[in-house]
Structure 1
Amino acid sequence: MPKWTWQGGQEPNMSPTLYFFICLNAVVRVISSDGVIAVHGTVGGSVTIDCRYEQGFEHFQKYLTNIRWILNNALIRTKNSNTLVTEGRYSLYDDTLERVFTVTIKELQMSDAGTYWCAVDRLLKDDYTEVKLTVHPVLQVISSDGVTVVHGTVGGSVTIDCRYAQGFENYEKYLTNVKYMWNNALIKTKNPNTLVTEGRYSLYDDTSARVFTATIKELQMSDAGTYWCAVERTLNDDYTEVKLTLHQDHGTESHWKRTFCRRVEPALQPTP
């Protein structure tokens, strides 16, 4: 069985030269029997809160707040129905046909944890629905077999942190889904410590930390399969395998997703 540890914890006493972490952004949302919406997210990820309202309130203003009974207390507020509003890390969309307004908080921080309210703005007394947000630190899974199976959600994103040994700082790095072929990179570094973006892929090589980070956003079912973190060398490139499995988000009232990181260590060590 894999061993779970907290990211940033003590490194095990091993000596592989290339390994990586897979991080999946996700959310857990449950509506309790007392009507409180319990939402769970992880640091760096995002949460989505679906706030339902009754017929007749379609054209009332809606908002999210963390303080009740005070004027100008909205973290974000609708301006027009059926129009997306974005303010910093918050976004809000009121779907009057379904009678639900959806709030998203991205780039979660531990300080975001706490109590919020979905609110409908009324003349005398606003209607509030309580939301409890819990934010968790990212988990790290260490696999003993050298191969990782990761799970993502269609429409979400996955981040792969690929670490390498000292001495490989100025080598080119890339992400691929085909080994041992020329021009096989989905995305490749051009210069160290510079962000590269190509379509849905991005890559950044932090030479001081000796880690290059590849991100795939707007995940599609066709993205499922096998990938490799790679360090380009003169004769044989160094590859570390990752298997990506994707699932549909069916958008049910009570559903779950998870955010976690997993580290994988290859069986062979690269040699310059």
Structure 2
Amino acid sequence: MMNLLLVVALLSGARCSAIWGPKQVSSAVNGTVTIRCGYQPEYKDKVKYWCVERLLFLCQPLAKTDGSVTDSSVSLSEDKSRGTLSITMRDLRQEDEGWYECRIQTTEVSIGYTASAVYLNIDRDASIPDLQGPENIIGQLTSETTIHCLYSKDYETHTKYWCQGARRRNCSIVVSTDSPQTRGRTSIRDDQTHREFTVTVSDLRAEDEGWYWCGIKRTFHFSDKLVPVFLTVNSGGSADMKTAKTATQPGSTEALDTTTARGDPTETRAGPTETRAGPTETRAYLPGGTAAPTSSTKGSSVGVWVWSVLRWVLFCVMLLCPVALTCWEMGPQRSPTPTG
């Protein structure tokens, strides 16, 4: 019986709190989506990978952190210091909709793993924004944080920048992809192949907290593409608990709640007034700080939950049937009743 339980644990993976991520994310056809999964520090040296579920219990790897598996439309990066795994899928098609998993390979062979399942919904009616970025970023004092801003194909050769200030009209440019790309503790890098520019701020300080903007230059300054980002600097000593902070949205009195408690997989946010349909970036921060997807998803969340449970019930039945049959065959044999 102990051997059977061990096999079940290896095949199904320990789905406790070793790795976590969003339950559902959405994007548009031809769009881009980024999923971030968090994991516990003891798994930082293990191989992580992103896979798509093809059959009931088989998950085909699309990208691995050791580089042994790659896919042209999928990029995977890992931040071991923060315990996060970032997966970006581009040029999405309708057939990409379905179940995926963030996985940690816990043994030398792929039979042992721990995973977090994610359902990707493709909305054929959604429009793709020209520029998108995270609404909130939470970083630890003295640590480093990276902001990812995605843009459409039309802006591949345009200058991108990162500016600071509550008002978009007169925000102060900190760094730009033309010059300077590095200023003080802040740097910017443009990846035109993946249509993404990243801003990195090192040695975070309390005065770094506030409103910033991911920006793309156009012909006239007033027509620049801008997306607001609020940076919260957590001064607490523990990375497992983020202190509640309230930020005022640019140009309004609406409060932005960035409270995230350990063990709560959702983050409640009142975002900027600008409404954007299309790809949603879902971030998983430090342990216990996973942000829930903000866009609507196709189908019922109850159905997703039922399928998550049902597939493991079916798996257990399939596993136990041969065992039960073997036990029945090895049971005591009855002698035929003598006939007079």
- Relative contact order, higher structure (CA 8 A, sep 6+): 1
Q: Give the TM-score normalised by the residue count of structure 1.
A: 0.44
TM-score calculated relative to the size of structure 2: 0.36
Judging by fraction of residues, say which structure has more helix: 2
Per residue, is there more strand in 1 or in 2?
1
**Which has the higher Rg, Structure 1 or Structure 2?**
2
